[in-house]
Amino acid sequence: AVALARLIQTGSISAREAVTSHLERLDVVNPQLNAVVPPFLHEQALSDADAADRARQAGEPLGLLHGLPITTKINTDQAGLPTDSGVPALKDLIASEDSAQVANLRRAGA
């Protein structure tokens, strides 16, 4: 992760390239693993990557994890996303705010 973050921060690769590579690999392995849900976040991940690339190009201060693709478990609150922990009875539970872990990741640029 450190090496990838360094490549993104120096512009050797773009955040979009890193995210696209991760999403392509996820599309191959996730059907067997069923480890990452929901797939509807692909577009959001690409949009976030584009914003990270624009920030780097504009010379904005970069966090330690700037542009790095990150996933979190479904029991970790992310504002506006389901946090059902895989429990069907909680399928309509939507996080109202980010957990401390997610907030820290976002502050670091992930």
| Residues near 99 by beta carbon (within 8 Å), at least 6 away in sequence | 76, 77, 78
pLDDT digits (tens), the chain, 110 positions:
889 999 999 999 999 999 999 999 999 999 998 888 766 789 999 999 999 999 999 999 999 999 999 998 888 999 998 888 889 899 899 999 999 999 999 999 99
Under 8 Å CB-to-CB from 86, ≥6 apart: which residues? 74, 75
Domain boundaries, the chain: 1-70, 72-110
Question: Helix, strand or coil for residue 57?
Answer: helix
Q: What is the pTM of this model?
A: 0.86
Whether residue 38 is preceded by a cis peptide bond, meaning omega within 30 degrees of 0, is: yes
